[in-house]
């Protein structure tokens, strides 16, 4: 069976994806920061690696010592990412902005660069977790949305460069998913409940099943980009400010 490397595997979509792929018989390398939470996922088909995705030296030390049958990565799922704050740009923290860029953009690009030669050799695949925020602006989206637009466009442009190699690339773009992500983003359970309560949002498992579906399509098919929303989420019109 093929091997998938899934980043951000300690919670939410990543954790659900580790379980889905392992249940489907894949070998899975599950990476994340929190060793204690990763340990719970470890098993015959799941090899865990604890490192901060932004720390390239720690990442390389971990990835370069992968044992068989986990050492040949066929599928990279770039799931690690975060949203910090919902403040308008003029009130947002620069440190939050930099953390999002470092994680959602720089670390994603860097691990992709590291694994690309092997993925080309094995005619593998990359699935990047973008967001509906990549395409639809909303108040408070600012840098988070910018990073997700980068992820979407990077995915599409990777396809252009990988033309003829057999490597597949997909941008997955979910709307509201209720996971720990929403708690981190809003900063409190109360605000998270206010935003997501009653909306019947998607779950990590919903997205994990989609990832497995994309990964197991016949090799001649490529899903370029896929938006998903809960039925209870859609769009509103433009905001118009009227001057007195």
**Which segment (13-21, 96-104, 129-137, 215-223) binds ligand 8X3 by CB under 6 A?**
129-137
Member of 175, 186, 202, 211 binding ligand 8X3 (CB under 6 A): 175
Asked if 86 touches ligand 8X3 (CB under 6 A), the answer is: no
> How many whole angstroms separate alpha carbon 105 and alpha carbon 153?
11
> Got the DSSP string for the chain?
--EEEESSTTSHHHHHHHHHHHHTT-EEEEEES-HHHHHTT-SSSEEEEE--TT-HHHHHHHHTTPPTTSSS-SEEEE----------GGG--HHHHHHHIIIIIIIHHHHHHHHHHHHHHTT-EEEEE--GGGTS--TT-HHHHHHHHHHHHHHHHHHHHTTTTT-EEEEEEE--B-SHHHHHHHSSHHHHHHHHTTS--B-HHHHHHHHHHHHTS-TT----EEEE--TT------------
Active site residue 138: no
- For position 176 contacting ligand 8X3 by CB under 6 A, the verdict is yes
131 binds ligand 8X3 (CB under 6 A): yes
**Is residue 207 a contact partner of residue 13, using CB atoms and an 8 Å limit?**
yes
Q: Given the complex with ligand 8X3, which of 187 and 219 has the nearer CB atom?
A: 187
Of 2-10, 71-79, 98-106, 126-134, the segment contacting ligand 8X3 by CB under 6 A is: 126-134
Q: Could you say which of 136, 138, 144, 196 is catalytic? A: 144
Q: Which C-beta is closer to ligand 8X3: that of 146 or that of 175?
A: 175
Note whether 80 binds ligand 8X3 by CB under 6 A.
no
Find the binder of ligand 8X3 among 29, 30, 100, 132 (CB under 6 A): 132
**Interaction of residue 204 with ligand 8X3, rule CB under 6 A:** no
Please tell me whether residue 108 binds ligand 8X3 under the rule CB under 6 A. Answer: no
**How many other C-beta atoms are found inside a 10 Å radius of the C-beta of residue 198?**
8
Binding mask 36-65 for ligand 8X3 (x = CB under 6 A): ------------------------------
Contact 108, 128 (CB under 8 A): yes
Is position 172 an interface residue for ligand 8X3 (rule: CB under 6 A)?
Answer: no
In terms of phi and psi (left: phi > 0; alpha: psi -120 to 50; beta: otherwise), the region of 168 is: beta
User: What is the nearest approach in angstroms of ligand 8X3 to the Cβ of residue 133?
Assistant: 5
* Interface region with ligand 8X3, contact rule CB under 6 A, candidates 15-23, 90-98, 127-135, 211-219: 127-135
Least distance between ligand 8X3 and beta carbon 233 (Å):
6
> Which residues does the annotation mark as catalytic?
144
Chain residues in the site for ligand 8X3 (CB under 6 A): 131-133, 175-176
């Amino acid at each position: 069976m093929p091997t998938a490397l899934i980043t951000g595997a300690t919670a939410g979509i990543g954790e659900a994806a580790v379980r889905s792929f392992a249940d489907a018989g894949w070998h899975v390398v599950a990476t994340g920061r929190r060793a204690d939470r990763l340990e719970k996922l470890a098993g015959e088909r799941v090899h865990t690696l604890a490192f901060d995705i932004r720390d390239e030296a720690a990442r390389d030390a971990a990835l370069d010592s992968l044992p068989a049958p986990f050492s040949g990565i066929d599928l990279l799922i770039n799931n690690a990412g975060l949203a910090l704050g919902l403040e308008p740009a003029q009130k947002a923290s620069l440190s939050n902005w930099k953390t999002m860029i470092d994680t959602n953009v720089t670390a994603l690009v860097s691990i992709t660069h590291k694994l690309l030669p092997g993925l080309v050799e094995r005619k593998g695949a990359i699935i990047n977790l973008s967001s509906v925020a990549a395409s639809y602006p909303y108040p408070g989206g600012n840098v988070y949305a910018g990073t997700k637009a980068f992820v979407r466009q990077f995915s599409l442009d990777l396809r252009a460069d990988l033309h003829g190699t057999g490597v597949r690339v997909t941008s997955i773009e979910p709307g509201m998913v209720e996971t720990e992500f929403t708690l981190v983003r809003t900063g409190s359970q109360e605000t998270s409940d206010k935003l997501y309560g009653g909306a019947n949002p998607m779950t990590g498992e919903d997205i994990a099943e989609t990832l497995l579906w994309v990964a197991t399509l016949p090799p001649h098919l490529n899903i370029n980009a896929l938006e998903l929303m809960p039925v209870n989420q859609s769009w509103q019109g433009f905001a118009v400010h009227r001057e007195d």
